[in-house]
Amino acid sequence: MTTQTVPQVGHLIGGETPADNLRDVHDPGRLDEVVAQVAVGTAEDVDRAVRAAHAAFPGWRDTPAAERVQKLLAAADLLAGSGEELAPLLVREHGGVLWEAQTDFALGTGVLQHTSSLVEDFLRPVEFDDEQSFISVEKVPRGVAAAIVPWNMPVVLTMMKLAPALATGNTLVLKPSPFAPAALTLALQKIAAQLPSGVLNVVHGEGDVGAALCSHPLVRKVGFTGGTATAQKVIEATSGTIKNVTLELGGNDPAIVLDDADIDATLERMLKGVYTRTGQICFAVKRIYVPRGLYARFADAFCDRVNEYAVGHGLDPQASFGPLNNEAQFKKVTDLLDRTRNSSAQLIQLGRKLDPSSWDNGYYVLPHVVRDVEHTAPVSCEEQFGPIVPLIAYDDEEQVIGWANGSDYGLGSSVWTSDPDRGLSLARRIEAGSTFINTHSFESLDLRMPFGGIKSSGIGREFGTAGLNAYVEEHSIRRLK
C-alpha cells in the first residue's frame, strides 16, 4: 500500500492550506488502498477559520450583489470543470459509481448557477412610502455561516449551503465529512482562490470539530445535513449562543403504488430512486406500499429487475452500484439484514458480484428485497441507508395514508398512478417536505421546489428563494415624516 502519490489535503483558513496532522482516507471498495491524506482539525483550527471568516465578512457583505453573483457564476464554471477531473477521486472516497459522482458535481454546479440567478431580485428591499412614513424592509446577511455536510453527495449538499450563504453576503466555514473530504476540498480550493481571502474556509475533522463550529459565538448560522441523532447534538451545541439553524436530516420515504399504476412504467422510474448510491440517499425510496391485488405481480417484476444489478467498484463501468461508504454503515445494514432474515418476512438476495475475489476487500452488499413484510417491521420503520427495500401490501387508501404518515420522518414521498387527479389528491394528504407523482429519484428534483423535511427529517428548506431566506435577517427601517 503506497500513500506517496495520493493528494494531501489541508484545511482552508484565510487563504492558507495548513496540512498538519494528516490522516489516511481509504477506498470503501478497496480497503487496502489509501486515496488521499486529509488534515484533522481541532477547536483551535475552527476558531482561526471562524475569525478569518469574521474578518472577511464586512468586505464581502459590502461587495455589490451583482459582483458577488459574477464571482459565484465563475465558481460554478470552475466546479463544472473540476467535476471531470475530480469525480474519479470522489468515487474512490465515497464508493459511488462514476455517474453518481459526476451527478454530484453537476447538481452542485446547477445549485450555484440557479441561486446566483435569483439573488439580486431576492435582496431588493420592500418599500412603503405614505403620508406618515417611509418603510424599508431589507434583507441582510447574518455574518459567519457554518456548513456541516455528510459523505453521500458532498458536493451538491455543500453547494446548497455555500451558494445562498455567499450570494447573500455571508462568509462561510465548511466542515466536510471525514468519509469524503478530498475531492470536495480540492474543488473548493480553486473556488476560494477566486474570492477574497477568508470568505470561504474549510476545517476537516470529526464530530468535535463540528461541535466547536456549532458552539462558536461568532457563528450566526448553521446549515447542517446529516443524521437525526447528530442533529440533536447540533441543536444542543447551538443553544448557548442562539443561532439560526437549518437541518436536513434522514428520511424513510414511502412510495405508494395505486391499483391503476402501470407496473413496467412504475418500475422503470422507481428503481432509479431505490438502489442508486447503494440506497444511501436521504430521499431514496425506502418503503414501497403495493395494493394487495397487485402485490404478487409487482413483487415478481420488481425482483426480476433488481436481479439484473451487478455490484462492484465504482470505477468499474459494469457496476450498477458500489459498496457502502464506511464500516459503521456496513455494520448497520448487515445487522438489519440479519434481523430481517430472522423474522417472518421473506428476505431475497439478488444481483451478482462483479469481482467475487475482491468482495471482502470492500463494504459490498448485494441488493435485497423484502417480501411479505409488515409495515411495523424494523426494515419498514428504520432508515436503512443501504440496498434493501421492503414491499408492503395494503388494503385501501385510508390504511396506506395512515401508514405513510405514521412515521417520525417526513422528507420525500411518492404516489404512482395512471390517473393524474387521483395522484394529486393523494399527494396532498401525505405529510412530507416533498411528494412526487410517478417519479422519486434525482430526476424528481427541481430547483424551484424547496427541499427539506418535517418532523425528524429536519427544520427549514434549501434550494431557491427558500434557501436564500435561511441566510438573511430582515432588517426593518422606518422614518416618520
Residues with a known catalytic role: 161, 248, 282, 462
Q: Which of 24, 206, 260, 419 binds ligand NAD (CB under 6 A)?
A: 206
- Per CB under 6 A, 411 contacts ligand NAD: yes
| 462 closest CA partner among 230, 178, 206, 147 | 147
Distance CA 359, CA 316 (A): 13
Determine contact, residues 280/385, Cβ cutoff 8 Å. Answer: yes
Using the minimum distance from each CB to ligand NAD, give the nearer residue, 110 or 226: 226
Q: Which of 23, 61, 190, 233 binds ligand NAD (CB under 6 A)?
A: 233
Distance CA 223, CA 225 (A): 7
DSSP assignment string, 153-203: SHHHHHHHHHHHHHHTT-EEEEE--TTS-HHHHHHHHHHHHTS-TTSEEE-
What are the residue ranges of helices labelled H in 27-64? 43-61
Residues in region 168-197 near ligand NAD by CB under 6 A:
175, 177-178
Residues in region 341-400 near ligand NAD by CB under 6 A:
383, 385
Binding-site size for ligand NAD (CB under 6 A) equals: 31
Q: At what angle do helices 295-306 and 263-270 cross, to 10 degrees?
A: 40
- Per CB under 6 A, 248 contacts ligand NAD: yes
Cβ of residue 352: shortest distance to ligand NAD, in angstroms? 27
Using the minimum distance from each CB to ligand NAD, give the nearer residue, 171 or 246: 246
Residues in region 110-169 near ligand NAD by CB under 6 A:
148-152, 157
Classify residue 325 by its DSSP letter. Answer: S
Cβ of residue 252: shortest distance to ligand NAD, in angstroms? 9
- Per CB under 6 A, 323 contacts ligand NAD: no
Strands 458-459 and 244-248: antiparallel
- Per CB under 6 A, 432 contacts ligand NAD: no
Facing residues of 311 across strands? 321, 353
Any residues with CB less than 8 A from the CB of 268 and at least 6 apart, and which? none
Cβ of residue 65: shortest distance to ligand NAD, in angstroms? 27
Using the minimum distance from each CB to ligand NAD, give the nearer residue, 107 or 258: 107
- Per CB under 6 A, 282 contacts ligand NAD: yes
- Map grid coordinates 397487485 to a residue: 294
Q: Which of 234, 285, 319, 401 binds ligand NAD (CB under 6 A)?
A: 234
> Where on the chain is the footprint of ligand NAD (CB under 6 A)?
148-152, 157, 175, 177-178, 206-207, 210-211, 214, 225-227, 230, 233-234, 237, 248-251, 282, 383, 385, 411, 453, 458
